[in-house]
């Protein structure tokens, strides 16, 4: 998981939430060394499963579900807007529409 290790370099976070695909010893050690708590579902093949915050991991699905619903809007999924301000504006509009449903 070299890309994930590089991605969190210098990251200061209380918790790092990730999918079980990121359950590697090197990544978990790096997160803990930077002062964060590892919230990654351990893989089945681990001989000693690591403990994690089950409530925080469960709440992670709410965020992923929101992004999945947001990507149903073609304009967001394909990034038609050239300017970042226009793209952000439509994300806000789509978020409001989803919230009002």
pLDDT tens digit sequence for 26-38: 888 899 999 999 9
The pLDDT value recorded for residue 72 is 92
Separation CA 63–CA 75 (nearest Å) = 20
The pLDDT value recorded for residue 7 is 86
DSSP 36-53: PEEEEPPPTT-SSPPP--
pLDDT tens digit sequence for 41-96: 888 888 888 888 889 888 888 888 999 999 999 888 888 888 999 999 999 999 99
Which are the contacts of 34, defined by CB distance < 8 A and separation ≥ 6? Answer: 8, 10, 11, 12, 13
The pLDDT value recorded for residue 44 is 87
Give the count of beta carbons closer than 10 Å to the beta carbon of residue 12: 8
């Amino acid at each position: 998981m070299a890309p994930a290790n590089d991605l969190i370099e210098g990251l200061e976070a209380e918790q790092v939430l990730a999918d079980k695909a990121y359950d590697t010893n090197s990544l978990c050690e790096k997160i803990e060394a930077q002062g964060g708590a590892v919230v990654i579902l351990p893989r089945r093949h681990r001989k000693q499963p690591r403990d994690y915050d089950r409530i925080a991991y469960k709440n992670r699905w709410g965020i992923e579900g929101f992004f999945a619903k947001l990507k149903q809007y073609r304009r967001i999924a394909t990034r038609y807007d050239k300017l970042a301000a226009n793209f952000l504006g439509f994300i806000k509009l789509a978020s409001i529409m989803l919230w009002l449903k």
